[in-house]
Amino acid sequence: MHTAEYQSISTYKAMSKTTHIIYLIFLSLIVLTALVTIAWIGFPYYKLGVEERPFHPSDALLKPSGIWGHGLGIIGSLLMMVGVGFYMARKRFRMLSRTGLLKHWLEFHIFLCSLGPILVLYHTSFKFGGLVAISFWSMVAVFLSGIIGRFIYIQIPRTIEGRELSLNEVRELTSNIGESIRSLVSLDDDSYNVIIDSTKKRVGIYAENFLVRSYRKYSDDRKTMHNVRQVLKRNNVTRSQQKQVLDLVQSDISLNRRIERLVLMQNLFKYWHVAHLPFAIVMLIIMIIHVGVTIVFGYRWIF
pLDDT at residue number 166: 56
Same domain, 281 and 162: yes
| Structural domain includes residue 273 | yes
* Three-state SS sequence of 90-148: HHHCHHHCCCCCHHHHHHHHHHHHHHHHHHHHHHCCCCCCHHHHHHHHHHHHHHHHHHH
Look at residue 164 and give its three-state secondary structure.
strand
Same domain, 119 and 194: no
Same domain, 107 and 197: no
pLDDT at residue number 21: 86
pTM of the model: 0.64
pLDDT at residue number 210: 60
| Structural domain includes residue 301 | no
Same domain, 83 and 102: yes
| Structural domain includes residue 292 | yes
Same domain, 155 and 223: no
Domain count, the chain: 2
Same domain, 138 and 277: yes
| Structural domain includes residue 78 | yes
* Domain that residue 182 falls in: 177-260
Same domain, 119 and 197: no
Same domain, 42 and 86: yes
Give average pLDDT by consecutive 10-residue segment, the chain, 303 residues.
39 61 91 94 90 91 90 92 87 78 83 91 84 79 80 64 56 62 76 73 51 74 83 82 82 73 71 77 85 81 68
